[in-house]
Structure 1
Amino acid sequence: MFLSDPALGILMLVLFLIFLMLGFPIAFTLMALGVGFGYFTQGDSIFQLFVQRTYSVMANDVLISIPLFLFMGYVIERANILDRLFRSIQLAAGWIPGSLAVATLITCALFATATGIVGAVVTLMGLLAFPAMLRAGYDTRIASGVVCAGGCLGILIPPSVMLILYGATAGVSVVKLYAAAFIPGITLAGMYIAYVIIRVMINPALAPKLPAAERNVPALTIAWALLTSFLPLVALIVAVLGCIIFGLATPSEAAAIGALGAIILALAYRTFSLEKLKDSVFLTARASAMVCWLFVGSAVFSAVFALLGGQRVVEEFIMGLNLGPVGFLILTQVIIFVLGWPLEWTEIIVIFLPIFLPLLDHFGIDPIFFGVLVALNLQTSFLSPPVAMAPFYLKGVAPKHVSIDEIFSGVMPFIFIVVLAMVLLYTVPDFALWLPNYLYGG
């Protein structure tokens, strides 16, 4: 006896999860299952659907900004700007308790804004700031937590690539998403900094003061360091985000400005070379191809899943739980949190979020607000054991005596801070919605 179409849809989803656990390539698994089940139930028309979905992805103007922002990030990463930035902020923050940790978080926030590439930020700060904190006598756990949590801020703080993908998936304005994520992103970074300062004030042994020679630096030296390293990168970031948020340019146009600005910055610092340009282009092409094929696979899979009635089964199941808006949000955020263990955020955004997005209208939830909440949640997916990517990135470059258990222990307080930020955002939605409503109307 053959299965009904909805049962085939659920079977397709179950098979995808099984193949995922077995380590099959995600994009091609999605395409294979979509085309296979589509051909079995829809016949040759599935191939026309495949072509249409592929073309719609390639013609999506929003996605053009992804390779440009990635290129901007890789150029900045390879221009050795990070060490200049960290040193200047370290000099300026020398009087603050836990100054190296605070400087690390500020550097991570700025560099994440310029790159949005979590692995790159955690790895580079693991090579630069982490050894500096250990040499200064910092507790291994607090140093680990600072690098891992700070490196993940690029998921939330614009120009986040994750928000671009969410905007393309949910069909909402990336400009409004950037405006909505700006205050929560800065708030989360501020909460991290406040936590470090308060904890070091309570227990100064966690982060000893730097030697007097490193703290008592002439004001002119600090000003020059900030002027030559901090200010240029901040100016580039403000120019890119300002063009987007104030409607002076589309995200794609602003991303092109950012890419050009990154090259000019690298030339000004005399760190630009054809070899570094070649590396940046290659890494951009590889990451962009991964995202685009994942989008194609997800589009085909989701279309067949909906045609078979699988989407309807999921919706009916959630509706049958008789949840209110709060219950629905808790359910979705718990699912996203758990999915963050085995999956990258890209897979969560393009594969699983489309299952929940059609239900937002029923529960009266703003998709802009939901997107920012998801971006906050995905911070935890990079930090939470057992499959936490940020701690493993750091472990890969940390000294051998630093254990993964110490790194996991260090990130736990920052996970609780993210959860607190999520509760704060749900309690006061205007943290996310005030700026886009003020700039673009409610």
Structure 2
Amino acid sequence: MFAEYSLPILMVVCLLLGIFTGYPVAFVLGGLAILFAFIGDIPLPFMGMVGSRIYGGVIENWLYIAIPLFVFMGLMLEKSGVASRLLLTLQRLFGRVRGGLAISVALLGIVMAASTGIVGASVVMLGMLALPVMLKQKYKEEMACGVIAASGTLGILIPPSIMLVLMGSIMQVSVGALFKAALIPGLMLGGLYILYLLVTGYLKPDWMPLADKEDVSTDTTPLPLALLRDLVGPVFLMVAVLGSIMAGIATPTEAAAIGALGAILLAVVGRKMNYITLRDVCYDTAKSTAMIVFIVIAATAFSLVFKRLGGDYLIMDLVSATGLGPYGLLLAIMLMIFILGFFLEWIEISYVVLPLLLPVIGLLDFGMSAQATLVWFAILMAINLQTSFLTPPFGYALFYLKGITEGQVKITTIYKSIIPYVLLQLTGLLLCILFPAIVLWLPGLL
């Protein structure tokens, strides 16, 4: 079998080697697609079809308009000052609870995830706001770094999530259905984080000391009014974006435009809107969007050439050779994606691996409709891919956090800090596999 599929196997090996060189992933994917098209003697008319697929499947896909809009929304919200005010108010709420500041960070991560959907912005924002305060309160470095990195990654799962927008396009599944399906699993993961913090605070109180009175916000506004004041902005965005999608009022692209406008209004209300802010947000939005779309284009070419060389048949033969049942095969796929997350970004895994796995998933019988199976599988993949932001050596959340510590915390400490949260994410993944209703109940209800 290996001789028959030597070219697709070699293509995957070259992809992994290319990524380890540190060369930009988009160039690696696109370059390997062209190189193996010549090695495999693929006819030129087929390469013309690759160009047509890129143009028709990516460039003309109206759904991708949501990407720059969601990125813009998240970056503008970061500039609005909503997060800093909310963190101070949550600290007042949990100030006398052991680990109260860490719990406030986790809750803020959930709120901002439902408002931004961008991991980089969330991790940097949480780190800059909370890490100096946590270290000042004598929090153990591993505890402080772990909760910040893990809470920041919730934005890739809790809608509005750019990952779910791209997955919906790849799998030809309603993005609205994916948003509904991801909401409860995302909140469940946030709940697991908070439960872990409460238990750890009880068992190891020296890891999370209580805050001194001078470290708590001096805001004299009554706490209920302060909570109401600081939650209005994020709740406004959540209702505007998620509410309009779930109610069927707007498509994800239209809802993204509403969210971008809402973020601008919040920045204006917070007196943070000026030319420099708008310029920086537009520049970062263009840069992030270009990176995502470039990888999507290159991954599309890689995937088509890989299939032409027999890569899809290689996957099917490997699956049939395992002799595993539906759930055994599903666990094997999840293990493979988890391992790939150590080395690949979620975009490459989504665009290279997911199209190859879809025919396999379509053949498995889990006792539910084909559409429900696809939605369930997409959310399982999303939960699994969330770990790729935390697992070394290429966990992006770890490097975001390292960048803002300015040498205060060693990278080995940051690596150790995320171990409990990766285990919690895998626990959440296992619960969603064992109890599909966690994923499918809300889409069925709405």
Q: Give the TM bin, normalised by the shorter chain.
A: over 0.9
1:28 aligns to what?
27
Cα 1:364–1:199 change in 2 (3 A) is: same
1:45 aligns to what?
45
How far off is 1:218 after superposition? 8.4
How far off is 1:101 after superposition? 0.5
Q: Distance in 2 between matches of 1:231 and 1:198?
A: 31
1:72-87 to structure 2, matched below 5 A, reads 72-87=73-88
Q: Distance in 2 between matches of 1:126 and 1:345?
A: 22
Q: Aligned match of 1:374 in 374, 381, 393?
A: 381
How far off is 1:60 after superposition? 1.3
Determine if the alignment matches structure 1 residue 432 to structure 2 residue 439: yes
How far off is 1:422 after superposition? 1.2
Q: Aligned match of 1:421 in 428, 433, 437?
A: 428
Q: Which segment is superposed worse, 381-390 or 421-430?
A: 381-390
How far off is 1:68 after superposition? 0.6
Determine if the alignment matches structure 1 residue 14 to structure 2 residue 22: no
1:153-232 to structure 2, matched below 5 A, reads 153-212=154-213, 220-232=221-233
Q: Which segment is superposed worse, 277-286 or 223-232?
A: 223-232
1:271-290 to structure 2, matched below 5 A, reads 271-290=272-291
Cα 1:23–1:209 change in 2 (3 A) is: closer
How far off is 1:20 after superposition? 2.2
Q: Distance in 1 between matches of 2:202 and 2:435?
A: 29
- Which residue identity lines up with residue 438 of structure 1 in the other structure? L
The alignment yields a C-alpha RMSD, in angstroms, of 2.1
1:91–1:214 Cα contact (<8 Å) kept: no
- Which residue identity lines up with residue 80 of structure 1 in the other structure? G
Q: Which segment is superposed worse, 239-248 or 396-405?
A: 396-405
1:200–1:207 Cα contact (<8 Å) kept: yes
- Tell me the SS of whatever aligns to 1:402: coil
1:317 aligns to what?
318
- Which residue identity lines up with residue 48 of structure 2 in the other structure? Q
How far off is 1:328 after superposition? 1.3
2:15–2:32 Cα contact (<8 Å) kept: yes
How far off is 1:404 after superposition? 2.0
Cα 1:139–1:408 change in 2 (3 A) is: same
2:130 aligns to what?
129
Q: Which segment is superposed worse, 157-166 or 38-47?
A: 38-47
Cα 1:235–1:96 change in 2 (3 A) is: farther
Q: Distance in 1 between matches of 2:50 and 2:91?
A: 52
2:74–2:121 Cα contact (<8 Å) kept: no
Q: Which segment is superposed worse, 177-186 or 109-118?
A: 109-118
Q: Which segment is superposed worse, 179-188 or 368-377?
A: 368-377
How far off is 1:113 after superposition? 2.2
1:400 aligns to what?
407
Cα 1:93–1:231 change in 2 (3 A) is: farther
Deviations 1:322-370 (A, max 9, x none): 1112221221111111111122111111112222121001123511111
- Tell me the SS of whatever aligns to 1:94: coil
TM-score norm. by structure 2 comes to 0.92
1:93 aligns to what?
94
How far off is 1:178 after superposition? 0.6
Q: Distance in 2 between matches of 1:68 and 1:401?
A: 35
Q: Distance in 2 between matches of 1:153 and 1:36?
A: 37
1:75–1:262 Cα contact (<8 Å) kept: yes
How far off is 1:379 after superposition? 2.4
Deviations 1:39-97 (A, max 9, x none): 55333213421321121211112211111101101111122332112112222222433
TM-score norm. by structure 1 comes to 0.93
Q: Distance in 2 between matches of 1:425 and 1:132?
A: 35
Cα 1:111–1:12 change in 2 (3 A) is: same
How far off is 1:212 after superposition? 4.2
- Tell me the SS of whatever aligns to 1:42: coil
Q: Distance in 2 between matches of 1:168 and 1:254?
A: 16
Q: Distance in 1 between matches of 2:190 and 2:417?
A: 16
- Which residue identity lines up with residue 27 of structure 1 in the other structure? A
Q: Distance in 2 between matches of 1:427 and 1:50?
A: 39
Cα 1:355–1:216 change in 2 (3 A) is: closer
- Which residue identity lines up with residue 34 of structure 2 in the other structure? V
Cα 1:336–1:425 change in 2 (3 A) is: same
- Which residue identity lines up with residue 191 of structure 1 in the other structure? L
How far off is 1:34 after superposition? 2.3
2:343–2:393 Cα contact (<8 Å) kept: no
Q: Distance in 2 between matches of 1:45 and 1:4?
A: 27
- Tell me the SS of whatever aligns to 1:116: coil
Q: Distance in 2 between matches of 1:98 and 1:298?
A: 43
Cα 1:230–1:301 change in 2 (3 A) is: same
1:237 aligns to what?
238
Q: Which segment is superposed worse, 265-274 or 202-211?
A: 202-211
2:135–2:144 Cα contact (<8 Å) kept: yes
Q: Distance in 1 between matches of 2:305 and 2:20?
A: 22
- Which residue identity lines up with residue 391 of structure 2 in the other structure? S
1:38–1:46 Cα contact (<8 Å) kept: no
- Segments of structure 2 that go 5 or more residues without pairing to the other structure are 367-372
- Which residue identity lines up with residue 12 of structure 1 in the other structure? M
Q: How many residues align structurally?
A: 437
Deviations 1:124-183 (A, max 9, x none): 211110111111121221111110110111111000111111111111111111100000
Q: Distance in 2 between matches of 1:112 and 1:205?
A: 29
Cα 1:405–1:27 change in 2 (3 A) is: closer
2:303 aligns to what?
302
- Tell me the SS of whatever aligns to 2:211: coil
Q: Distance in 1 between matches of 2:254 and 2:101?
A: 36
How far off is 1:115 after superposition? 2.0
How far off is 1:395 after superposition? 1.9
Q: Which segment is superposed worse, 423-432 or 33-42?
A: 33-42
- Which residue identity lines up with residue 247 of structure 2 in the other structure? F
1:93–1:102 Cα contact (<8 Å) kept: yes
How far off is 1:21 after superposition? 2.1
